[in-house]
Amino acid sequence: MARRLFCEISPLTYAISVQKMRILRHVKNVTSLNKFAKIKGKPLTILVYKHTSLIRRKLGDVNMQLQENKAVNLGLAVPKINGIIIKPGEIFSFWKLVGSCTMRKGYLEGGTISKGRVSSGIGGGMCQFSNLIHWMVLHSPLKVIEHHHHDGLDMFPDYGRKVPFGTGTSIMYNYLDYRFINDTAHDFQLIISINETHLCGELRVSEPLTKSYHILEEDSHFTKIDGVYYRKNTIIRQIIDKQTGNEISREILKKSHAKVMYDEKFIPDEKKAAHD
C-alpha cells in the first residue's frame, strides 16, 4: 500500500497543509519582483473579445441551492476585477484582486471540486469566473503563466456548453491561482458584469491588434476502455494576420484524456467512438 501524504492523514493535516501553501504563496508574492495589476480605469475603446457564461446550470445531481449561492458569490467578486487595467509588463493575478472568500465578507457555500469529487465550500463558484477570463485571454496575445485544470476527469455532462471541454480552470485561494502577463506594448483591460442569468466579460485594449486568435476543437469523442468511458479532444489556437487573413501559426493548447464521472446515458451516441 502506498504511503499516504501528510495532507491525506486527516482533515486536520489537510487544513495544516492548505495553510502552509497559502503562507508560502504569500511570502513569494511579497518577496518577488513581479509587478501585479491593481489600477482600474474607464473602459478602453477597442474590444478584443467578449463572452457570457450562464450562472445557473444543471450539473448532474448537484444541489441547485449551491448554484443560487454561486450567483451571490460571483456578485461579490465581480467588482474586485471589473475595470482592472493590465499595463505592459504587469501580471494579472485572480486571487490578489479578489482576495479570500470568507463568510465574514458575505460569501456563501457554493459548489466546488475537491480530490476529484463534487463538493462544496464557502465562496464556491469562483472557477466559473476564472474560466470566463481564461477563455477571453486565449483570444488575445496575453501570455498565461499559471493555469491549473481538473486534469483527467470529466465531472459533468454537457449542458449549454459554449466552450470546448478542456479549456477550464481550477483555482483555490491562494496557492492555485490563475495568472497571465501582458508582454505586449499595449494596455489591456477586463470589463466584467453580472446580471440575473449570466456572468459577462469583455477584454479590451488601448490600440488595434494586428492579429486575431481563434480556438478550435478537433477529434472530440468519447471512447470506452475496459468498460470505462473517457473523453478525448484536442484544443488548438490559430493565429491569423488581420490584414491578409492568412494563418500565421497554429499551436496545440491541450490534448484531453479524461475519465467520465457521470452516467453514460448523458453521452451523445454520435460522439461515442469505437474502442481504443
pLDDT tens-digit readout, 13-67: 778 888 888 898 988 888 888 999 999 999 999 999 999 999 987 766 667 898 8
Residue 210 C-alpha from the chain's centroid: 26
Q: What is the pLDDT of residue 158?
A: 81
Backbone φ and ψ for 155, nearest 5 degrees, come out as: -80, -35
C-alpha distance across the termini of the chain, in Å: 30
Within 10 A of 208 (CB to CB), how many other CB atoms are there?
10
What are the beta bridge partners of residue 236? 216, 252
Domain boundaries, the chain: 34-208
Give the 3-state secondary structure of residue 214.
strand
Asked if pLDDT for residue 118 goes beyond 80, the answer is: no
Q: What pLDDT is attached to residue 57? A: 78
Above 90 in pLDDT, residue 77?
A: yes
| CA-based torsion, 268, 269, 270, 276: positive or negative | positive
pLDDT of residue 269: 86
pLDDT tens digits along 194-237: 999 999 999 999 999 999 999 999 999 999 999 999 999 999 99
- The Cα–Cα gap between 259 and 28 comes to 34
Residue 42: CB atoms within 10 A of its CB come to 8
Average pLDDT over residues 248-273: 90
Residue 74 pLDDT > 60, yes or no? yes
